[in-house]
Structure 1
C-alpha cells in the first residue's frame, strides 16, 4: 500500500529543506502541494514532483475554499496516486492545520479511478505520520500571541479570523515528528523546548537538513497518532509529559465534579488568554445538563462549542453508540449523582501562574448553596455562551444556529 506523510509548517525555507532531505532518503518519493495564496480568486496552484517530473497546474475552482480544494483535487489526486507509487508527501499550504486535513483524509468519501466504490483516502493509502516544521527562534512568540492570519499575511480569505497561535500550536501539537531549523537547547535555557516537551512529548525532534527515516513514520513511538484526530472524550494528555515546573513552564490539570456557573466562567476565561500557550478540555455548564462543551485556546484566542452529550441520562442507545474506551472511562469515574459529567481541562502555562488559574476556575463552579438549589434553579441562570463562543468576546452563535461542530473529530473540515 502506498505510504502517505502529511508535511506542514510556516517556516517555508525549512519546509523546503525537509523536502530536499526526504527526496535524498527516497529519490522516488512523490511530493504533492497545493498553494492557496490565490484561493480567494478561485484558483489553486498544484505542484506534483518526483525524480522524473515537476508538474505545475493552475486549477479553477467554482467555490474558493479549502473544503472545495480537498474534495475536488487533493483527495482525487491522492486516490489516483494510491497503488502506483511507494510514497507520497502531502505538503500542506502554510496556512493549514493538519488535524482537519487528516480528518478529511479519513472521513470524506472520494471515488478512486477504475470504477471502484467511493471510500476515504485512508482506505487506499497508509497514513504513516504528520511532520511539522518550525523555527524555535520564533515559534513560541507565535504560539503565545493574538495576531490573526490576515494580519501576518498568511491568509487573504474573507472571514478567516484564525490566529497565528492557533496555527502554530495546532501544527506542533498534532505532529508525530517535529522538524526544526535548529535543535532547541536544554529546557533550563530554552523555554521553547520546555513548552514542546509538554505540548508534543512523544514527537522526536529532527533537524531540517539531517532528518532520518522517522520523517517517513519509521521507528516512531507506539503512541504516535499517525494522523488520527483526537476525540472529545479521549485522554487530554498524550504520552507522559512533565507535570513539574521548568523554566517557568508548567501544565495545570483542572478537574471538578460540579457544574460551572455560566456567568462566572465567562469572567474567569480571561485567565486563559495571557501567559498560556494552550488550554483544552471538556466543560459542564449548570444551564446545560446534557451538553458536553469543548474548550480550546491557543495564545490569545479561545473558543467554546458544543461537542455532543454526556452519557448521564442519555439512555441505553447512547451507551451503545459510545466507543469502548469512553464507556470504560465513564464507568470507572461514574458519580452517583452526576454520572460522567465533570470538568476536565489541561492548561499549558508559560507566563501565567497555574495556581491562580486554578483558583479562578474553582471560583466559577457552583457553590454548595447553588448545588443544593437543584437543577431547576440552575436553568434560570444567565448563559452568555450560545452555541459557540469566542474570546476575546464576540457575539455568540445562538443555540440552534450553524450546526457545524467545533472539534475535528466531530466533523469540522472548513478552514475559511
Structure 2
C-alpha cells in the first residue's frame, strides 16, 4: 500500500518557515500544509491552519487539559491520518512552530496510536527541512537563553537546545540570508558537522523538487537514533575548520561522579553540541546519556550496559549493538565505555579532553572497586518528565532525565 509522504519544516523564524512551506505547497503537486501556531499559547490559544491550493482554513484548537504536547498529539496526529486518507493529497507539509523540534514529532508519528495503529502506518517521512539564518543561528545555538522567551510556557529547554536539535535532525537545510564572511564560514563548518550530507539551498532560490532530490539516500528521514547507536552519523568531516572541531572522547575507565559534575562546565562554553554515553563509578550497571547544546545540558538514563544483564536478554537489543560490544569487549568491564562527541567552535579541544580525563578514576581509585558505591553522586537522582513540563517538544518521547544548568 502506498503511503502519504510527509515533509517537516522547522526553524526559528516564523515568516521564513511559512514562506518555505508555501513554496513546497505550490511547487509540489497535491500538497497540503498543516501548521499549529503556538505564539499565543500563554493565553490558552492554539491556532491550527490547513492549506491546500486555494483552500485555507484556520481553527482555534482547545488546549487539551492545559498541555500543548497533548493538544498537538490529540489534534495533529488524527488530522494527519485524516489527510492521508484523502485521495487528493499525496504529500503533507508539517510546518512546525519555532519551539517544536522535529525528532519527537517523528517519534509520535511512529509510536502513538490513533485508533488501533500509529500514523506511521499510512505515512512516511520524506524529509525534515530546517530553515537557518546564518547571521543569528550560531549565537542562538551557543547561548543559554530560555525557550520561554520565545513564548513557550512551562518549558525548561533553552533556545540553543531547540535550534541545535532542529538542525541535527535535518535532511536538508535552507538558508535565509548571508552573514559576514568569517561568521558564514564558521556556521557552514558547524552545519557540515552537525547535519553532514544535508544539502543546502537559499530560501529565495529554493526549487522544491530539486531540493528533495538532492537529499542523500542515507539521510535519516525521521529515523531516531537509539542511545547506544553510532555517534558520528553521516560521516561528518573530522578536520578542524575556522576553529570548528569535532572531538571524540573514548576511555575505558569510569568517571568519578563528583569530578565529572565539576568538569561539565568545559562542555558548556565555546561548545555547540555534546552527545554520548558516560559511565560513572557509583552506577556501574547503568549507561548515562549526556547531551549539551550551548549552555543547556541534559543527563538521562540510557539503560543497562550489556555486561550488567544476562546474555539471555541480549536478543532484545539491536544486533548492531551486540556486535559492536563484542568487538570491543573488555575482560573486566565488558561494554562499559566513555564515548562522547564534542562539536566546539571556540573551546580548545585539548583543554576539553584534559578536563574530562582528570575526571576519570585514578589508578588507585580504579583498584578500590568496593568503594565506588559510596561515592557521592550528583547524577543519582532521576525524575520522569511529565507531559506538561516541556509542552512544545514532548510529543510522547519516553525519557527520564535530569537537568543541569
- TM-score where L is the length of structure 1: 0.89
Whether contact under 8 Å (1:147, 1:164) holds in the other structure is: yes
Return the match for 2:378 from 368, 379, 384: 384
- Specify the alignment match of 1:26 in structure 2: 28
1:100 shift after superposition: 1.1
Consecutive unaligned residues in structure 1, runs of 5 or more:
112-117, 387-397
For the pair 1:373 / 2:368, whether they are aligned, the reply is yes
Whether contact under 8 Å (2:6, 2:91) holds in the other structure is: yes
Q: Deviations over 1:62-120 (max 9, x none)?
A: 32223212321000000001132111001111111111111111111112xxxxxx111
**CA RMSD after TM alignment:** 2.4
- Specify the alignment match of 1:411 in structure 2: 398
Which whole-Å CA distance do the structure 2 matches of 1:245 and 1:408 have between them?
Answer: 36
1:127 shift after superposition: 1.2
Return the match for 1:239 from 234, 237, 240: 234
Alignment of 1:130-169 (within 5 A): 130-151=128-149, 154-157=150-153, 159-169=154-164
- Specify the alignment match of 1:393 in structure 2: none
Which whole-Å CA distance do the structure 2 matches of 1:230 and 1:186 have between them?
Answer: 34
Which whole-Å CA distance do the structure 1 matches of 2:339 and 2:200 have between them?
Answer: 29
Consecutive unaligned residues in structure 2, runs of 5 or more:
none
Alignment of 1:2-401 (within 5 A): 2-84=4-86, 85-111=89-115, 118-151=116-149, 154-157=150-153, 159-182=154-177, 190-213=185-208, 217-374=212-369, 376-386=370-380, 398-399=381-382, 401=383
Whether contact under 8 Å (1:259, 1:284) holds in the other structure is: yes
> In the superposition, relative to structure 1, how do residues 413 and 359 fare at CA in structure 2: closer, same or farther (>3 Å)?
closer
- Specify the alignment match of 1:392 in structure 2: none
Which whole-Å CA distance do the structure 1 matches of 2:310 and 2:180 have between them?
Answer: 52
Which whole-Å CA distance do the structure 1 matches of 2:191 and 2:4 have between them?
Answer: 31
Which has the larger displacement, 332-341 or 175-184?
175-184
- TM-score where L is the length of structure 2: 0.91
1:327 shift after superposition: 1.1
1:352 shift after superposition: 0.4
Whether contact under 8 Å (2:384, 2:400) holds in the other structure is: no
Whether contact under 8 Å (1:263, 1:383) holds in the other structure is: yes
Whether contact under 8 Å (2:385, 2:399) holds in the other structure is: no
Number of residues of Structure 1 aligned to a counterpart in Structure 2? 392
> In the superposition, relative to structure 1, how do residues 338 and 218 fare at CA in structure 2: closer, same or farther (>3 Å)?
same
User: Per the alignment, in what secondary structure is the counterpart of residue 312 of structure 1?
Assistant: helix
> In the superposition, relative to structure 1, how do residues 22 and 183 fare at CA in structure 2: closer, same or farther (>3 Å)?
farther
1:232 shift after superposition: 0.3
> In the superposition, relative to structure 1, how do residues 408 and 370 fare at CA in structure 2: closer, same or farther (>3 Å)?
farther
For the pair 1:402 / 2:374, whether they are aligned, the reply is no
Which whole-Å CA distance do the structure 2 matches of 1:40 and 1:294 have between them?
Answer: 32
Whether contact under 8 Å (1:129, 1:216) holds in the other structure is: no
Which whole-Å CA distance do the structure 2 matches of 1:2 and 1:217 have between them?
Answer: 15
Whether contact under 8 Å (1:30, 1:50) holds in the other structure is: yes
1:182 shift after superposition: 3.4
Whether contact under 8 Å (1:40, 1:64) holds in the other structure is: no
Which whole-Å CA distance do the structure 1 matches of 2:167 and 2:203 have between them?
Answer: 15
Q: Deviations over 1:266-298 (max 9, x none)?
A: 111010110000001000010001111000000
1:311 shift after superposition: 0.4
1:408 shift after superposition: 9.5
1:338 shift after superposition: 0.7
- Specify the alignment match of 1:394 in structure 2: none
> In the superposition, relative to structure 1, how do residues 189 and 123 fare at CA in structure 2: closer, same or farther (>3 Å)?
closer
1:242 shift after superposition: 1.5
1:222 shift after superposition: 2.0
User: Per the alignment, in what secondary structure is the counterpart of residue 128 of structure 1?
Assistant: strand
Which whole-Å CA distance do the structure 1 matches of 2:210 and 2:141 have between them?
Answer: 23
